[in-house]
Amino acid sequence: MADLIVLSERDRGGYAFMAESGARHVDVPGLRTRLSPLALWRSADRLKSILFREDPALIWAHSRMGVLLLRWLILIGYLGRHSQPAVAMTFHGLPFGPGHAPLAAALACRIERMALRRGPLQHLIFLSDAAKAQYLATVGPERCARHVCHVLPNCSDLNPMPQEMRPAQGAPISRLGRPVRKVVMTGRVARQKNLRRALRILAELPGNYRLSICGAGTDSPAFRKTARQVLGACGLTRVELLGEVADVRPLLAASDCYLLTSLYEGTPIGALEAFEAGLPLALSAIPGTADLLLRHPLCAGLSDLAAASPQEDALRIVALTEHFCADRNAAQSEIRQRWSAQFSFSAWAPEVRRLLMQDLLPDTAPKQWPEPERAEKARPKITVTPVQPPALRLASDNTQRQKTEPGSAPPP
């Protein structure tokens, strides 16, 4: 087995499962995304000290801040062209493109180009072919000529899901005499998540629809004030502002539809978790959701961001939700089967093992990699021979969820 060390912001419960895995978890203040140059400098200094102490064979950044810190270490010369550790970074969302603030996107593009030119050979890992193509088109293919690009789709791993938490007599009945329908969102208060749009959509939904929002800052007085401004005092009773939750599974199990209003995403882990839970999805029509909109059997894109229509979005959500609730068991079964074939941990794990052993740490892998027989329409089953490389590094963001985060699960 490899020696796996996971770095993150202060753990608030999301990494508790690692105690049983044999991996080490290290708290590193400053790995949560922030804009302060002083905080960035301090975080980079802490990371530099840990890398010097551990002398890893591989540094693998997963979070946005982790990628930025590696870029910084490259730009200041700590990770030069002839650095010994293999360097890999997963782009869970590109730092430029539609939805990003123009100035921030231009700065991010410049940083990427400089780091690609100055740094060591880098393994650039994207969640989709579309994200890879957009990255190459933006930074320039010539900048990536000496680096290696990979595509590794994301996955979710919520199992086991709790039983649906509903009364035996059926869904609760609203004061209008109709069953209560519950729409759920998972996302922190940030410009990217565009939560104000979700509140505007709720205002157009029928009175028996409720919205639950969980994520950092959603239970703050400032966001409650925003919700009151959009919905009014009476409408505020139709929204639950839950803040951070340690386990999102019970919330998903009690919901009828998942809503995402982000301006930009990679492959949104919250939507993948809702996919796994068997929920219909109403998603922003952005590049990061294109794959989900194509593959999910009960999914709708919201109106175009440039001409957003809360009324149209509300109609789409009602159509999705009522169709789902008409035969919930059958719909959930179909949705979960589709998720299992494409976005489950069992579908993802063989591919990440192959990436790790063949590309990221080839010197420690067996010289001959057995090519498994592929069953039609099935993922390959790969047996990995245990090896003993030096320390494996994974720079990662903190999480408030069970097992997963806006990033993907660490390599098994």
24 lies in the same domain as 135: yes
pLDDT at 412: 42
pLDDT at 386: 35
Q: Which two tokens stand for residue 259?
A: 């809503």
In a domain, 111, yes or no: yes
219 lies in the same domain as 359: no
CB atoms within 10 A of CB 312: 15
229 lies in the same domain as 296: yes
Q: Which residues contact 305 (CB under 8 A, 6 or more apart)?
A: 98, 99, 263, 284, 285, 286
Q: Which two tokens stand for residue 373?
A: 């027989």
191 lies in the same domain as 335: yes
Q: CATH number for the domain including 124?
A: 3.40.50
pLDDT at 394: 44
In a domain, 403, yes or no: no
54 lies in the same domain as 92: yes
In a domain, 354, yes or no: yes
In a domain, 376, yes or no: no
* Residues 112 and 139: beta-carbon distance below 8 Å: yes
* Element containing residue 200 per DSSP (H, E): helix 195-204
68 lies in the same domain as 207: no
DSSP 259: E
pLDDT at 19: 74
Distance CA 92, CA 111 (A): 17
In a domain, 37, yes or no: yes
- List the chain residues with pLDDT less than 50: 1, 165, 167-169, 366-412
pLDDT at 175: 67
Q: CATH number for the domain including 333?
A: 3.40.50.2000
In a domain, 9, yes or no: yes
39 lies in the same domain as 108: yes
97 lies in the same domain as 236: no
In a domain, 278, yes or no: yes
337 lies in the same domain as 361: no
* Residues 309 and 249: beta-carbon distance below 8 Å: no
Distance CA 358, CA 152 (A): 14
The whole-model pTM stands at 0.81
Look at the chain and report how many structural domains it folds into: 2
Distance CA 155, CA 271 (A): 10
Q: Which residues contact 323 (CB under 8 A, 6 or more apart)?
A: 280, 298, 331
In a domain, 16, yes or no: yes
196 lies in the same domain as 116: no
pLDDT at 61: 92
* Residues 35 and 104: beta-carbon distance below 8 Å: no
Range(s) of the domain holding residue 15: 4-155+345-369
CA-based nearest residue to 14, from 348, 336, 410: 410
209 lies in the same domain as 321: yes
pLDDT at 192: 93
Residue after which a domain boundary falls, among 279, 307, 342: 342
331 lies in the same domain as 310: yes
